[in-house]
């Protein structure tokens, strides 16, 4: 019963959030200067041409009326047609979303792995030079934003020591036919490890650029929580039982220290997804973010609206997953 | 022969400040030795030194700790840790914080048996159930699966006692195991520890600053002041005729059961000054080298 109510509340808030996001994006992109019609027509087009095109895309109506038309179409699954690409927004977004999802999740996994391992190592060697070194590395990682890390990585592993591809998602020369847009997932499922390798060669650098600052944030918070836990009485008791410090950190401290970090990861992951916009551009990675920039430059209103809605949906999903993980990991919540 | 033998144990802070000053004491199998003294005297520090859990700031700089005749300091770190885990156990002070909040109770009793002593899990679980019954816990099956926050403080202390006895240790160190509990529960827990200790014939080092408790549970006691053993005697002798002035003052400062409100006198300043002088003289001797 409680679960049903919680789910219902969640569903309603999700709906309100999405609706709010829809209104904001709809109004904002119509208020800022710039006109999609003017971008489409050659210079010197007549007023009549402009008016005809405006009418075609429904841009001659009042903003409120436009919104009502758009939202009622969206509810029926029709997101409109891209002005520049002349394809249904839904197809465009669904085609690109998997690329961005794969990149974001890869970045998240890398960040959690690096940040987590660094925090655990620093806790094991607390007070020593190892901890000092890890702190310094974390400080450096935090001092640059993700896109600068992207540039640094391109310079390092793209130019000076060309280990990875600096642009794109997959080498066209591979000639591999995908049946879905989840390339990495599909290549793994079909055991085509040559394709996986090529995909990783493209994805690793942008993912790393996104992951480095997040890894540093995870390191700092998790290390702090772990250190606090290490003073707790149950840790001391575990020591008297004969356990090694490393297994105490993993088994006793980590589960008690991880909850704040989990919440933080949830919040930061939404920032990371936002960060894909620039990073995808930097690495010419064919994802949703890259498409979003084109859409904004071209004032492709229906496409922008579709992309923003999908991002908003992603963010609410991430929060939902975090909340569920939180409840699963915290026995006190589970029984409350 | 005594199961725990501490000889001239010195523990210092990193800056050289002594926390324990050449402490010697023995606990024979089946014996209960009380460790008394005011707050900060170093009672807990002795237990920590024995169990290998000295705080990072403190270091063992002299003396020996023999556990079952084996000098712990000569063992490599891993072996020492496991030896302590197999032969000794701690009953902690605060049952509310001594259990891991995110783990079920059962594994917290069985973990040492399985991981350190290499028991099979079903055997360890059977043993844990027996122990929970032994510490008078109703429906042990349910308690094994519970999380600590679902249980009362008294229950949790019973669980910690069961856990301490799980591996049949020859030595148990109980560090003020009742101070965090309700007065009514205190008596039950004290009775339980005594009962368990007698049944298992365990050597028990019982840290307390409550002399009333000492008379109920211990056969011998060591009085500690500023990390130095001031008096070391049997409980009988201590209550009949304490030999040190500080012990006498301590005894006088303890409320009598017949008159719990009365005679709550402080230890007189002259006595404190005398024992401080004694400690200072000892430190001078150490410095001068007439004591090692
Ligand atoms: N982590 C630490 N770092 C520095 N000094 C410490 C630390 N822990 C304890 N001490 C010092 O060691 C001395 C002995 O402390 P200990 O905890 O053994 O006292 P105690 O006799 O158990 O007192 P209480 O009755 O309050 O528990 C005290 O002077 C205390 O200040
Ligand atoms: Mg103490």
The pLDDT value recorded for residue A58 is: 78
Cβ–Cβ below 8 Å for B92 and A233: yes
Q: Which has the higher per-residue pLDDT, A26 or B202?
A: B202
Q: Which has the higher per-residue pLDDT, A295 or B269?
A: A295
The pLDDT value recorded for residue B263 is: 45
The pLDDT value recorded for residue B173 is: 97
- Which residue has 């002259």 as its token pair? B270
The pLDDT value recorded for residue A336 is: 42
- Which residue has 């190592």 as its token pair? A121
| Phi, psi of A235, rounded to the nearest 5 degrees | -70, -45
Q: How many domains does chain B have?
A: 1
| Phi, psi of B172, rounded to the nearest 5 degrees | -125, 135
Q: Within 13 A of B47's CA, how many CA atoms are on the CB side?
A: 28
Give the tokens for residue B110. 């069985």
CB atoms within 10 A of CB A328: 10
Q: If you measure from the C-alpha of residue B224 to the centroid of ligand 2, how many angstroms do you get, rounded to a whole number?
A: 12
Exposed, middle or buried, A4 (CB in 10 Å: 0-12/13-18/19+)? exposed
**CA-to-CA distance for B14 and B288, rounded, in angstroms?**
21
E strand map for chain B? 4-13, 18-27, 32-36, 58-67, 70-71, 88-91, 171-175, 203-207, 220-225, 228-234
Residue A163 per-residue DSSP state: -
Over residues A242-268, the mean pLDDT reads 93
The pLDDT value recorded for residue A331 is: 67
Cβ–Cβ below 8 Å for A234 and B116: no
**CA-to-CA distance for B267 and B227, rounded, in angstroms?**
18
The pLDDT value recorded for residue B154 is: 92
Residue A88 per-residue DSSP state: B
CA distances to A46, A116, B4, B8 from B83, in Å: 93, 32, 13, 21
**CA-to-CA distance for A41 and B11, rounded, in angstroms?**
86
The pLDDT value recorded for residue B292 is: 60
> What's the length of chain A?
336
Write B11-14 long-range contacts (CB < 8 A, 24+).
Answer: B11/B42, B11/B45, B11/B49, B11/B54, B11/B58, B11/B59, B11/B60, B11/B61, B11/B227, B12/B58, B12/B59, B12/B61, B13/B57, B13/B58, B13/B59, B14/B57, B14/B58, B14/B59
> Mutating which of B102, B109, B147, B169 best tests the A interface, going by the most A Cβ atoms within 10 A?
B102
Query: β-strands B32-36, B70-71: how paired?
Result: unpaired
Q: Which residue does chain B place closest to A255, by CA atoms?
A: B102
pLDDT digits (tens, 9 = 90+) for A32-83: 777 777 777 777 778 888 888 788 777 788 888 888 888 888 888 888 889 8
**CA-to-CA distance for B271 and B231, rounded, in angstroms?**
14
Write A315-323 long-range contacts (CB < 8 A, 24+).
Answer: A315/A270, A315/A273, A316/A14, A316/A17, A316/A18, A318/A266, A318/A269, A318/A270, A318/A273, A319/A266, A319/A270, A320/A10, A320/A14, A321/A266, A322/A262, A322/A263, A322/A265, A322/A266, A322/A269, A323/A266
Residues whose CB is less than 8 angstroms from the CB of residue B290 and which lie 6 or more positions away in sequence, other chains included: none
Closest residue by Cα to atom 7, ligand 1, is B55
B18 lines ligand 1 (CB under 6 A): no
> What's the length of chain B?
292
Candidates A237, A256, A335; nearest CB to B90: A237
Task: Look at residue A2 and tell me whether its pLDDT is greater than 80.
Answer: no
| Phi, psi of A137, rounded to the nearest 5 degrees | -60, -40
Q: The complex's ipTM?
A: 0.91
CA distances to B79, B136, B158, B183, B194 from B188, in Å: 36, 10, 10, 9, 10
Q: What does the mean pLDDT of chain A come to? A: 89
**CA-to-CA distance for B155 and B169, rounded, in angstroms?**
21
Closest residue by Cα to atom 17, ligand 1, is B44
Give the tokens for residue A77. 């699954």
Cα angle B138, B142, B145 (rounded to 5 degrees) comes to 135
Closest residue by Cα to atom 31, ligand 1, is B40
Over residues A308-322, the mean pLDDT reads 87
- Average pLDDT of adjacent 10-residue blocks, chain B of 292 residues: 91 92 94 92 95 93 92 92 94 94 95 95 96 94 94 94 95 92 89 94 92 90 92 90 82 62 63 82 79 63
**CA-to-CA distance for B75 and A294, rounded, in angstroms?**
69
Per residue in A113-145, is it b (16+ CB within 10 Å) or e — as a string?
ebbbebbbbbbbebeeeebeebeebbeebbebe
CA distances to A114, A326, B53, B91, B99 from B149, in Å: 33, 17, 26, 19, 9
Give the tokens for residue B63. 């003396």
CATH number at residue B98: 3.40.50.300
The pLDDT value recorded for residue B262 is: 45
> Mutating which of B100, B104, B160, B169 best tests the A interface, going by the most A Cβ atoms within 10 A?
B100
With a threshold of 0.90, does the pTM exceed it? no
* Residue to probe by mutation, ligand 1, list B6, B19, B54, B228, most atoms within 8 Å of CB: B19
Closest ligand relative to B42 C-alpha: 1
Q: For chain B, which residues lie within 8 Å of any Cβ of chain A, measuring from their own Cβ? A: 51-53, 56, 78, 81-86, 88-90, 92-94, 97-103, 111-112, 115-116, 147, 149-150, 160
**For residue B179, which of B90, B95, B93 has the smallest C-alpha distance?**
B93
**CA-to-CA distance for A279 and A203, rounded, in angstroms?**
11
**Which range among A2-11, A21-30, A290-299 has the greatest average pLDDT?**
A290-299
Chain A residues close to B90, C-beta within 8 Å: 236-237, 240
Closest ligand relative to B55 C-alpha: 1
The domain in which residue B187 lies consists of 4-288
* DSSP states of B3-53: SEEEEEEEEEETTS-EEEEEEEEEE-TT-EEEEE-STTSSHHHHHHHHHT-
pLDDT digits (tens, 9 = 90+) for A201-220: 999 999 999 999 999 999 99
The pLDDT value recorded for residue A230 is: 94
**For residue A269, which of A126, A125, A155, A111 has the smallest C-alpha distance?**
A111
């Amino acid at each position: 019963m409680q679960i049903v109510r919680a789910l219902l509340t969640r569903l309603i808030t999700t709906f309100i959030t999405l609706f709010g996001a829809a209104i904001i994006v709809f109004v904002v992109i119509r208020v800022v200067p710039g006109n999609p019609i003017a971008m489409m027509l050659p210079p010197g087009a007549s007023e009549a041409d402009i008016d005809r095109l405006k009418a075609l895309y429904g841009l001659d109506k009042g903003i409120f009326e436009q919104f009502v038309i758009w939202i009622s179409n969206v509810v029926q699954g029709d997101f409109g047609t891209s002005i520049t690409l002349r394809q249904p927004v839904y197809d465009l977004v669904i085609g690109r979303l998997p690329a961005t999802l794969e990149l974001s999740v890869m970045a998240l996994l890398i960040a959690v792995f690096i940040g987590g391992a660094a925090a655990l190592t620093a806790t094991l060697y607390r007070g020593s030079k190892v901890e000092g070194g890890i702190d310094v590395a974390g400080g450096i990682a935090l001092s640059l934003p993700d896109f600068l890390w992207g540039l640094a990585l391109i310079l390092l592993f793209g130019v000076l020591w060309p280990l990875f591809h600096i642009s794109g998602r997959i080498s066209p020369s591979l000639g591999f036919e995908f049946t879905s847009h989840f390339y990495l997932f599909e290549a793994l499922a079909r055991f085509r490890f040559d394709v996986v390798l090529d995909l990783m060669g493209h994805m690793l650098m942008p993912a790393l650029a996104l992951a480095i600052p997040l890894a540093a944030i995870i390191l700092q918070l998790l290390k702090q929580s772990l250190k606090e836990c290490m003073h707790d009485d149950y840790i001391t008791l575990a020591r008297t039982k004969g356990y090694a410090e490393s297994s105490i950190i993993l088994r006793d401290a980590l589960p008690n220290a991880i909850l704040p970090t989990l919440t933080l990861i949830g919040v930061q992951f939404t920032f990371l997804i936002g960060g894909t916009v620039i990073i995808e551009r930097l690495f010419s990675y064919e994802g949703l973010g890259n498409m979003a920039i084109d859409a904004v430059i071209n004032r492709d209103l229906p496409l922008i609206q579709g992309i923003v809605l999908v991002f908003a949906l992603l963010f609410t999903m991430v929060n939902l997953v975090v909340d569920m993980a939180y409840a699963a990991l915290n026995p006190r919540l589970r029984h409350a | 022969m005594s199961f725990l033998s501490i000889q001239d144990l010195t523990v210092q802070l990193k800056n050289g400040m002594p926390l324990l000053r050449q402490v010697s004491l023995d606990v024979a199998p089946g014996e209960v030795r009380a460790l008394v003294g005011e707050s900060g005297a170093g009672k807990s520090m002795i237990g920590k030194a024995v169990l290998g859990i000295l705080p990072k700031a403190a270091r063992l700089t002299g003396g020996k700790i023999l556990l079952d005749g084996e000098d712990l300091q000569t063992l490599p770190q891993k072996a020492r840790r496991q030896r302590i885990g197999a032969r000794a156990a701690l009953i902690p002070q605060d049952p509310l914080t001594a259990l891991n909040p995110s783990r079920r109770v059962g594994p917290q009793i069985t973990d040492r048996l399985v991981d350190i002593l290499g028991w099979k899990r079903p055997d360890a679980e059977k043993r844990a159930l027996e122990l929970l019954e032994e510490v008078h816990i109703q429906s042990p099956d349910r308690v094994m699966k519970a999380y600590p926050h679902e249980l009362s403080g008294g229950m949790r202390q019973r669980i910690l006692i069961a856990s301490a006895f799980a591996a049949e240790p020859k030595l148990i160190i109980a560090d003020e195991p009742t101070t965090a509990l309700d007065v009514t529960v205190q008596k039950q827990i004290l009775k339980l520890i005594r009962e368990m200790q007698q049944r298992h014939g365990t050597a028990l080092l019982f840290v307390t600053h409550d002399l009333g408790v000492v008379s109920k549970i211990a056969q011998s006691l060591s009085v500690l002041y500023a990390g130095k053993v001031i008096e070391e005697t049997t409980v009988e002798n201590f209550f009949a005729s304490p030999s040190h002035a500080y012990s006498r003052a301590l005894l006088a400062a303890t409320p009598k059961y017949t008159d719990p409100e009365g005679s709550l006198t402080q230890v007189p300043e002259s006595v404190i000054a005398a024992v401080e002088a004694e400690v200072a003289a000892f430190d001078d001797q150490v410095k001068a080298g007439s004591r090692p």
